[in-house]
Amino acid sequence: MGINRAAQLLQEIVKAKVGWLIDINQTKPRRKIIKFDIEKFKKFTGSDINLKTAIKYLQLLNFKILPDITLKNNKDKSVLVDVPAVRRDIEIFEDLVEEIIRLDGCDNLKTVPPHIHLVPSGFEDEIILKDKIRKILIGLGLDEVINYACVSEDEGKHLFSNNKLIELENPVSKEFYYLKPALATGFIKNVDCNFKFFDEIGVFEIGKIFEKIDKGGTVEKLVLGIALASKNKEQFFKLKGLVDVLLKKLGLSDFLFVEAEENEQISKMTQKYLEDGTIIKIESSEIVLGYFGEIKRSLNSKAKISVFEIDLNILLDLINEEYEYQPLSKYPSSMRDISILVDTDVRVGDINQAIQQFDLKYIEDVDLIDEYEDAKLAGKRSLTFRIVFQAEDKTLTDVEVNQEMDKITCLLKSKFKAEIR
C-alpha cells in the first residue's frame, strides 16, 4: 500500500515513469486471528459501543470478521477478527480496542475513577522511622556504619547456630558465604579497626538480617543495631540508658528490660557471641522487641563491647498503637513510691511485672525510679518503684490507694522476700 501511494505521488508531482513493482520477499506473513469480545471491550474502556458498531469500525479498516455470521446467532457477543497482512502492528486484543476507540473518537470516552482497593502504605512510615532513629543516635554522639550483608564461612559456623544460617547458592568466596543472621557480630570488626584511633567507640547500623524459620523457608527482618565499646570502661549500663532514651524519643513509653532465661529463644540465638548472664530482652505489651548484652571477651580481648538489636517492624507497629487516640480520664491519678531491699539475683522486670499485673483495674503505670547497690547492704540491693493509680469511673480516695499499697506490700514480701524500707 505504501509503495503504491509513493509511486502515485511521484507520477503526479514530478511526472515520473513508474516501472514494474516486484515483491522479492519470499517469506509470507503469518495469518493473525484475534478474538474480539464486546463485553471485555466495555469493561476495558468504559464505552457503551455495541458489537455491531465495533464490527463496522473494524471492517472500515479492512479487518475481516470470521466466520461470516449474523448478530442474532452470536450469543456470546464475540467474533474472530482476521488481521490484514500489512497491519503488523496489530498483535493482541488491546490493539483492536485502540483502533475502534480511535475511529469512534477519544473524546467520547467517559472519565471514570478506577475501582480498586486502596491499601495504606507502610513504606513511608518505615522511612520516617529510620530517619528519626538516625537523627536521635547521631545527636547522642554515635556514628552510622554499613556492613556487608554476608558473613564468612568461619564466622557463620563459629558465631551462629547452623540451623539458622542461610547459605548462598553461589557464594563468590568463603568471606561471603552466609547471609547475615545478626548485626551484632559485624560490630566486632568495626571496633577492632577503629581502636587504632579511639579509646571509646559508639556506632549503629540499620540493616536487614536473614534466618531460617522452624516451619521451613526464610524470614527477612529490618533491624537496628547499636554497639558501645571501650578499652577500659564497662558500657553495659551506658547502653541501657541510651536505649531507654531512644525508645522514649521514638514514642514508645511502655517497655521493660527483663533478664532472659537460658532456655529462651534469644539466649539460644546469641549464646555463641554474648556473655552468659548478660542478655537482657526488651518487652512491650508482652512482645519481645529485641535484646542487648556483652560480646564475649574471647572474640575481642582489646575491648569491652555491649551491643543492642531491635526489630524495627515490631517497633513500628507498637509505636503506631501508642499514638492511637485515647480520651483523657476525667478523674485525677494518685501516685505512691515504695522502696524495698531484695537479693541481687531478683530481677527488676519480674518485680515490675508482678506489681503491674496485681490490679489491672486501678494500677495505671509502674516505673523503677531508683536502684542502689553497696557492700554495706550485705548482698542486697535497694529498689524504688513509683506506682500510679487511676480509676476510669471515679476519683480514688487516700483510703482506697493505701489499701492497694498494703496489698502490694504483702505481695512483694511473700513473692520476693522483700524488706520494706
Encoded amino acid at 117, one letter: H
pLDDT at 68 over 60: no
pTM higher than 0.75: no
> What is the spatial order of strands in the sheet that 178-179 belongs to?
150-151, 178-179, 166-167
pLDDT of 323 > 60? The answer is no
pLDDT > 70? residue 17? yes
The owner of cell 533478664 is: 259
Task: For residue 374, name the pLDDT band (cuts at 50, 70, 90).
Answer: confident
pLDDT of residue 70: 47
Which pLDDT band holds residue 122 (cuts at 50, 70, 90)? low
pLDDT at 325 over 70: no
pLDDT grade for 417, boundaries at 50, 70 and 90: confident
Residue range(s) in the chain whose domain bears CATH number 3.30.930.10? 123-322
CATH number of 123-322: 3.30.930.10
The arithmetic mean of pLDDT across residues 342-361, rounded, is: 78
- Is 133 in a helix, a strand, or coil? helix
Q: Can you tell me whether residue 54 is helix, strand or coil?
A: helix
Using the CB atoms, write b or e for 162-193: b if 16+ within 10 Å: eebbbeeeeeeeeebbbbbbbbbbbbbebbbe
Average pLDDT over residues 235-248: 86
Is residue 74 scored above 60 in pLDDT?
no
The mean-pLDDT minimum among 39-48, 110-119, 228-237, 298-307 falls in 110-119
The predicted structure's pLDDT at residue 117:
66
Q: What is the CATH code for 29-108?
A: 3.30.56.10
CA 421 to chain centroid: 46
Q: Phi and psi for 289 in degrees, rounded to 5?
A: -90, -40
pLDDT given for residue 226 in this prediction: 92
Q: Which helix (H) or strand (E) holds 366?
A: strand 363-373
Q: Give percent above pLDDT 90 in the chain.
A: 15
Question: pLDDT tens across 141-155, in order?
Answer: 899 999 888 888 888
For the domain made up of 334-420, give the CATH fold.
Alpha-Beta Plaits (3.30.70)
As a whole-number percent, the residues of the chain with pLDDT over 70 amount to: 91
Poorest-pLDDT segment among 67-81, 126-140, 203-217, 299-313: 67-81
Dihedral of alpha carbons 126, 127, 129, 134, sign: positive
Closest Cα partner for 85 from 18, 23, 38, 41? 23
Q: Is the dihedral of CA 116, 120, 126, 127 positive or negative?
A: positive
Is the CB of residue 250 less than 8 Å from the CB of residue 315?
A: yes
pLDDT at 116 over 90: no
Within the chain, which residue ranges are assigned CATH 3.30.56.10? 29-108
Q: Higher-confidence residue: 57 or 274?
A: 57
Return the pLDDT at 99. Answer: 93
Q: What is the DSSP letter of 163?
A: G
Instruction: Answer yes or no: is pLDDT of 184 > 50.
Output: yes
- Identify the pLDDT of residue 124: 75
Please state, rounded to an integer, the average pLDDT across all residues of the chain.
83
At 259-285, the pLDDT tens digits run 887 777 777 777 788 887 778 888 887
3-state helix, strand, coil in the chain (%, to 5): 35, 25, 35
Which residues of the chain does CATH 3.30.70.380 include?
A: 334-420
Query: Letter for the amino acid at 152?
Result: S
What's the confidence (pLDDT) of residue 153? 84
- Whether the pLDDT of residue 318 is over 60: the answer is yes
- Tell me the residue type at 171: P
Place of cell 545527636: 139
Instruction: Using the CB atoms, write b or e for 285-299: b if 16+ within 10 Å.
Output: eeebbbbbbbbbeeb
